[in-house]
Amino acid sequence: MISTQQKNIRHLALPELEEYFLYIGEKKFRAKQVHEWLWQKHAHGFDAMTNLSKELRHNLSENFSLPALTIDATQYSSDGTVKTRFKTYDGHLVESVLIPTEERKTACVSSQIGCSLNCKFCATGYMERSRNLTFDEIYDEVSMINQQSEKEYDKKISNIVFMGMGEPLLNYNNVLKAIDRISAEDGLGMSPRRITISTAGIVKMIKKLGDDKVRFKLALSLHAANDKKRNEIMPINESNNIRALVDALNYFYKLTKNEITFEYILFKNFNDSQKDAEELVKIYRQVPADLINIIEYNHIDRFNFSNPDENTVQNFINYLEAHRVNVKLRRSRGKDIDAACGQLANKENV
């Protein structure tokens, strides 16, 4: 028999729940009812499970915990973007973003509280990493952003990107388990093909994604096309260099055939020259990548870089297109509420 000892009930699989209910003399189908409350009806307390008797709800509350994220603050951008600061059961704060367009409603979710990679252009990188989010906390982020989308735009979220706070591949097990729950028929029922994990580049874990034959998309935050420059802005590159990343991405693609995207933030007089574009094309041709996303730099106080002018941006894109690169310019969303790429930092002025 399982030992509960105030175990998080969402960390029990359905067969374990069934075992528990049979043990206490309840019908097996009660487990399925509870499972539905937890993963499809998004109950954040046992009292909400109204088709269970009061006695049974009391039994569950005595024997199990149900920690869940709560909304601490919400901000609305002039462009329709919604940033939410969530509070964990143990008092930590973490931010997520709903990004609406005509075509899609995207949830940008976090995987860690803070980050340990110290990318120089990212506000989260200047925070201490407090801990990983558990898979059920990540699920809470997605389900509550989905509720926001239905309320604000009368549509469910269509896409999920793990591009919020933290490095997803350094919280590998929880992220994959969250995606399993999100994509399960008895979860949110979302296709893994609509989910993208963005990584700063952890070679070993990219290869593990291939070994595990995951079904979601992968984006590499590249941001510089040679090791010298990438080392300057992304310390992780010193132990996971571009050559190793290219090999890992090819390994991942060989085993999964999943879409790969490069992300590239343009910084004025740093990585925006024609030579930089030439080096980027060379990397692009070494990987079966679908796309390079050119991203606007969003200012943070502790990084003394700026955006290139529009002509420089367009010339950079023109060069890529002339060399048969599939490229898109991604305009920032939610800058006025510090919700854009690289700006998430749990600021107290929310």
Measured between alpha carbons, how far is 244 from 237 in angstroms, rounded to an integer? 10
Measured between alpha carbons, how far is 235 from 174 in angstroms, rounded to an integer? 24
Structure-token pair, residue 337:
């509420």
Structure-token pair, residue 293:
């996303």
Amino acid letter at 178?
A
Q: Does the annotation count 341 as an active-site position?
A: yes
Measured between alpha carbons, how far is 97 from 109 in angstroms, rounded to an integer? 7
- Asked whether the beta carbons of 296 and 266 are under 8 A apart, the reply is yes
Q: Does the annotation count 95 as an active-site position?
A: yes
| Residues β-bridged to residue 82 | 76, 98
Could you give phi then psi for residue 285, rounded to 5 degrees?
Answer: -75, -15
Out of 26, 119, 341, 348, pick the active-site residue. Answer: 341
Measured between alpha carbons, how far is 69 from 71 in angstroms, rounded to an integer? 7
Out of 18, 95, 137, 296, pick the active-site residue. Answer: 95
Cα 280 to chain centroid, rounded: 25
Catalytic residues: 95, 341
